[in-house]
Amino acid sequence: MTATEPTRTRERRQRVQAAETSMAVLKALGHLGGRAGLSLIATQIDESPAKVHRYLVSLMEGGLVGQDATTQQYFLGLETLLLGLAAMRQADPIRLAEASLIRLREELEVTCFVAVMGNKGPTIVRFEEPGLPVTVNVRVGSVLSMLWSATGQVLLATLDENAVRALAQTELEAATPEQRALLDARDPIGALQQSVLAAGCAVVRDTNLRGISAVSAPIYNYADRPCAVLTALGATGGFDPSPDGRVAQAVRREAQAISRLLGKT
């Protein structure tokens, strides 16, 4: 070992530590709403104000942080914003949902999928089945009902756009007396939307497919806009579709996890 090797190792370690501290400062600013004073940032990462100030100066020189001349507070700079925008443009709910789909499949042993709003209605774009799948006639590319599927109900409640309501209204007009009996006679669509929003998920039993129950929850992006739906389904006899049941809790939890990966705060 040469005399310079310990020095190089020490310098490399110092550079790594400096990078870690810089990232901690940026993350602290983000957690504090993007703007905060020196003392608060230092408290957030449990470092001395003097040390944090040195890193803030370096980050300001790189355009990652700025400082308000009036309040002396630090804020996320233009370069940080550009990095965030680039990351958000690459955020793909279908790709990011893959781990959640696998966890749901393994934990609950149910069929699960991700769907998005397509031109013709809710459309399945990613599908996972357990080892002994429930036989259903839906696959990737299948278009689901707005009113009678849990997936459609979530999109109807969270998007509430004219085109979405028009699809639901068309289904309502074609509904059988048996189907209509499942809805509020005074305000079929409005009451359905309110119940889904209140529960944070939609649950159905034998409405879209006989013998099949399902639970769906919305996935939101960084703009707090619903961009996809996570759904779990199974045979009605062994599947609890109640809003407070084990399946619903797991689906909501995973939908929230995907939403966080997409930038929802």
The confidence score (pLDDT) of residue 204 equals: 92
Cα dihedral sign, 19-24-25-26:
positive
User: pLDDT confidence of 88, banded at 50, 70, 90?
Assistant: low
Instruction: Find how far residue 204's CA is from the centre of its chain.
Output: 22
Q: What is the pLDDT of residue 130?
A: 80
pTM: 0.69
Concatenated DSSP letters for 103-136? HHHHHH--EEEEEEE-SSSEEEEEEE--SS----
Break the chain into its structural domains and give their ranges: 17-88, 91-262
Q: What distance lies between CA 150 and its chain's CA centroid?
A: 17
β partners of residue 244 = none
> pLDDT at residue 161 above 60?
yes
Section 210-219 average pLDDT: 90
What's the pLDDT score for residue 4? Answer: 56
Percentage of the residues of the chain whose pLDDT score is greater than 90: 42
Beta-carbon contacts of 232 under 8 Å, excluding residues fewer than 6 positions away, are 104, 108, 110, 111, 112, 214, 215, 216, 247, 250, 251
Contact of 164 with 155, CB cutoff 8 Å: yes
Q: What is the pLDDT of residues 167-194, one digit of tens each?
A: 999 999 998 888 888 888 889 999 999 9
Q: Which residue has the tokens 């901690």?
A: 24
pLDDT at residue 135 in the model = 59
Residue 1 has what pLDDT?
A: 47
| 120-146 pLDDT, tens digit each | 889 998 888 887 655 566 778 888 999
Separation CA 193–CA 35 (nearest Å): 36
Looking at 2.30.40.10, 1.10.3720.10, 1.10.10.10, 1.10.10.1100, the CATH number of the domain 17-88 comes to: 1.10.10.10
- The CATH number corresponding to 91-262 among 3.40.50.920, 3.30.70.330, 3.40.1110.10, 3.30.450.40 equals 3.30.450.40
